[in-house]
A = this chain, B = another copy of it.
């Protein structure tokens, strides 16, 4: 984008000349760049993201994480044994998309990841395993298969594995967005987690995870959800109910054969984090989604089942644990033979809050 392509004359472009060369040298000297040579790249007719659709296979990720478990310590300095998806279109940076970080984090038996906090918003999603507690602002939160767990920005947090087996999970953050815009703050906390108790439910859930009920002791809205853990049993029940309603002919599913929930902040009804949307989708055996484009990028992880993902011209079979990226405005279609459960997160709240959201759903018929 930064080379000045004055060699061939296009519509609206100046005629090459020594004077023009001198002008362009003047621009360079004064740290200036003309619009007329860059406009096609800067202002495309529709989003033309650098990020590419891509699939990472859980079967490849997990052995590498296990190997890192043997070779790489977890502790102060490195902070976390997290291994990030690096989108092939983003020059090797540890970015799943221009705004989103997605990593596999791995904690060996009895290991502890020390406490810290940062302005970046974070969550964890557990595709398999259990035994780790994440301690968020002093509240121990059990991590179990199917759970979606929040660490909103500027909350202290550390993890410890109480089990004799390692555990691996998906971390999602807005690190690339925060890095690009220059809004990152970070602070170290204690080397140990501040509460080693291992309750089955966090205090936050006991206060907040009762449907439609709020404690009178905490009535102000918060920009991030106060629910530290969205448990699998609730997610599964909600999806099961939607499909049962469909069977009864009642509204509920997003489209035929496709149940879906959004994780939300009970103090606002909106997204769980100001920059990140999180959802869970279930396709019945034999179902397929409409083809959908959306401004903003998303990362999906298969939770159970097998299916086919089509993003633009690319298509892959996917199965448990596989992660794939859908760049901005790329058409996405999902289908399955035997049924498919997927977790999804995206940067859509950024665009909605800034008035830039657009969605296009292709007509099925």
Contacts and interface: CB of A to CB of B under 8 A. Distances in A.
Interface of A: 1-2, 10-14, 17, 19-20, 23, 26-27, 30-39, 42-51, 54, 56, 60-61, 64, 67-68, 70-88, 91-94, 98-99, 103, 118-120, 153, 175, 177-187, 203, 206-219, 221, 223-225, 227, 230, 234-235, 237-238, 241-242, 244-245, 250-254, 260-269, 272, 274-275, 279, 295-297, 327-329, 347, 349-351, 353-356, 358
A64 B215 contact: no
Contacts of A178: 356
Given A13-B78, A354-B350, A83 B32 contact: yes
18 contacts: A1-B93, A11-B78, A23-B64, A31-B54, A31-B86, A34-B94, A35-B82, A42-B184, A99-B181, A185-B358, A206-B252, A214-B269, A217-B251, A217-B260, A221-B269, A265-B269, A267-B269, A353-B354
Nearest to A95: B33
A73 B17 CA distance: 13
Main secondary structure of the interface of A (DSSP, over half): loop
A98 B180 CA distance: 7
A175 B43 contact: yes
B34 A82 contact: yes
A259 to B, nearest CB: 8
Contacts of A225: 212
Nearest to A45: B186
A262 B92 CA distance: 41
Please give the count of copies of this chain that the complex contains.
4
Given A181-B98, A187-B45, A261-B213, A356 B274 contact: yes
Contacts of A251: 207, 217-218
A79 B180 contact: no
Contacts of A353: 274, 353-354
Contact of A68 (B34, B120, B210): B34
A71 B23 contact: yes
A347 to B, nearest CB: 7
A183 B269 contact: no
A181 B176 CA distance: 10
Given A33-B93, A56-B30, A241-B207, A261 B85 contact: no
Nearest to A99: B181
Given A11-B77, A33-B84, A44-B186, A203 B103 contact: no
